A and B are shown apart, each in its own frame.
Chain A
Amino acid sequence: MFTQQIINGLTLGCIYALIALGYTLIFGIIRLINFAQGEMSMVGAYIAIGITILLSKYGLLSENLLLTLPLIFVITITGCSLLGILVELVAIRPIRNSPALDALITTLGISIILQNSFMLLFGSNNKVFPSIFFQDSLFIRNAQISYLQIFIIGLSIVSMIILHIFINKSKLGRSMKAVSEDKVLANLMGININSIIRNTFIIASTMAAISGIMLCMYYGVARYDMGFIPGIKAFTAAILGGIGNIPGAVLGGVLLGIIEGLCAGYISADYKDVFSFILLIIILIFKPQGLLGEKVSQE
């Protein structure tokens, strides 16, 4: 049972970690907590379900997994990225130089707008994602791991590694780091701040899109308010690991998922959320900068 709970928690934790990466990236660049991050993954889930419904209409869905799955990912990521660009352009850029609280409130506004417009457009009932991908399971000792869980964990790790290499090795990634250290100086060095911020939103939206597809594949359903709870949990994970710190977001997400799984499994499902937030409070009291965070005192 222990192995099983660890695997359940790890799967959930990987999804949290992907959303948390979005929080941390945006915070790292412009010191802003983008509360619409969870809703981004909801939009991703809706796009993914839309494509599968469209594909199944033309009978193309189950023919070739290697073809349909990348197609779903590419379209969903594109859609979410466009939305991310739009959000940055409309809600963040005009008030970038206002106090941090203003932008925080606009992101909350965006999250409410997205939730409610999706409810009005597509109704408030559960949308069902056809369970066609990775339905079989694997047995390791007495734990049962579905291929879907392996896929989710694997893909999360791959995305995180790609992100890590991208940030540290590519020119764009290093420019992002430069902007996060000092905006004015980076600008003097010829870095276009606007384009860097836009690219950060694209990357954060991509992570959210991937997590959205995973959420609706894993649970088989999507609803307009599905992004809210994972969004809050991922925010917790980002704080837990140290907001602004990329490995910290991953560690925070995975840790939170596993703790939830173990608490629900060994103590009581009633108190699942209680324990994860108690952990957050303890971390904030004894290590306010998070597990891997640097000291950023003024925040």
Chain B
Amino acid sequence: MLKKFAISALAIFLLLSCAKKEKVIKIGGVGPLTGSQSEVGQDLINGEKLAVEEINASGGLLGKKVVLVSMDDKADPKEAVSVAHKLVSDSQVIAVIGHLNSGATLPASRVYHQGGMVMLTPTSTNPKITKQGFKNVFRACITDEVQGPLCADFAIDKLSKEKFAVLHDKTAYGQGIAEQFTKKVIDREKSLLLFEGITEGDKDFTAISTKIKNLNPDLLFFGGAFPEGGLIIKQARQLGMDATFMAGDGCFAPEFMKIGGNASEGTIISFLASPWEEKESAKEFVAKFKKKYGVVKTYAPYGYECINIIAKAIKAAKKAERGALLGAMSDPNFYYEGILGNTQFDNKGDTKNKELYFYVVKEGKLQLCK
């Protein structure tokens, strides 16, 4: 009797869990939700959440509800790999949006590749990510191979600078963009006075700032994120360095100005998009996001866009399954027209939409350079 009961209970349980399994589509969303870069990570995930809510409000995908599994990689490569293993081992997760930092995305992409899962990174710009020959890896933003040289061109042509000093934070992102920047500077036969790395998490940059001040460059380029960027410019200005400070998209965050204070004025920062409020295609998104989560800080539109790209691919695949989704994403005719413009992937998985915008810090705010 007991045996029968146990078997039937087990059967019902299995049936229920099967039924439950069929009803949802899980998409992973990974970024640094805690740690020093949590500000940008939270922003990215909020964008993803908004997109998922909208999809569910209009009936879900293929008749199923979409669930966002948000995970925290703390911007740490080791943590990123363990998060990736967790996501891959859950068979209901069919794609992942992430990670945010190149240093985290690089090792994690191998794990997703082994699991046959689509990985779409919204913001990692290191060129190596799509050069590993992994068919499952896609990227919605431009690479440092585009960003670094464009920064150098802007500094040489628009700002007419001649002598350069370059610092980076030794991460995959920071060192990558700094090397690309430097290469272009040398190609264009301008003088490079210094190329050195600092340690991520360090707070004292007075020694290197003094050295840079004495070399007297026209422009100091920093490849790295805003916590160090803000401190470097603050300490360098305190020591009397008067060169223009320029940084890549890693410093594009309100906290950069908070840490740097008055010293951050006049800093040139490149970013992958024009101001969201002014962008015609993004206006609706900005209004909706503001209602729910407040002002768009940095990457929220990328999170939103990536979920919608995956959603369109799932619809095209007609099956909520890792392999089918990968097939749909790899179709050369696949495209998505959204708030970032037209996103279409080349054979490496990079977007064909390549734009870069330059901002200047004015009165504590980032304004587009015209």
Enumerate chain A interface residues (CB-CB to B < 8 A): 1, 4-5, 8-9, 11-12, 119, 123-126, 128, 131, 137, 144, 146, 215, 219-221, 223, 225-226, 229, 260-266, 268-270, 272-273
Contact = CB atoms under 8 A, between A and B. Distances in A.
Given A5-B207, A131-B261, 14 more contacts: A1-B210, A8-B204, A8-B206, A8-B210, A11-B206, A124-B38, A137-B240, A144-B240, A221-B259, A223-B36, A263-B207, A264-B211, A265-B211, A268-B196
Of A5, A146, A215, most B-chain CB atoms within 10 Å: A5
B39 interface: yes
A212 to B, nearest CB: 13
Contact of A137 (B198, B210, B238): B238
A265 B239 CA distance: 14
Nearest to A221: B259
A4 B209 CA distance: 10
B203 A219 contact: yes
Contacts of B262: 131
A124 B201 CA distance: 13
Contact of A125 (B38, B206, B207, B208): B38
A273 B203 CA distance: 13
A186 to B, nearest CB: 41
A146 B210 CA distance: 13
Interface residues of B, number: 35
Contacts of B261: 128, 131, 220
Nearest to B202: A229
Contacts of A264: 207-208, 211
Interface string B259-300: 101100000000000000000000000000000000000000
B239 A144 contact: yes
A219 B205 CA distance: 10
Contacts of B201: 225, 229
B207 A272 contact: yes
A4 B239 contact: yes
Nearest to B203: A219
Interface string B201-242: 111111110110010000000000001001100110011100
Contact of A260 (B39, B198, B207): B207
Q: Lowest 6 CB-CB distances: which A-B pairs, in order?
A: A264-B207, A8-B206, A269-B208, A270-B197, A261-B207, A1-B214
A299 to B, nearest CB: 30
Nearest to A12: B204
Contact of A5 (B36, B210, B235, B238): B210
Nearest to B39: A125
Interface in B32-55: 34-36, 38-39
5 contacts: A219-B235, A269-B167, A269-B197, A269-B205, A270-B197
A202 B370 CA distance: 58
A31 B238 CA distance: 42
Contacts of A220: 231, 234, 259, 261
A221 B208 contact: no
B224 to A, nearest CB: 12
B210 A4 contact: yes
Given A125-B255, A219-B204, A269 B198 contact: yes
A226 B262 CA distance: 23
B199 interface: yes
Contacts of A226: 203
Contacts of A119: 34
A125 B167 CA distance: 23
Contacts of A223: 36
Residue of B202, B204, B240, B259 with most partner-chain A CB within 10 A:
B204
Contacts of B113: none
Contact of B231 (A4, A123, A219, A272): A219
Interface in B14-40: 34-36, 38-39
Most buried by A among B36, B197, B198: B36
B258 interface: yes
B47 to A, nearest CB: 19
A124 B199 contact: no
Interface in B54-97: none
Contacts of B110: none
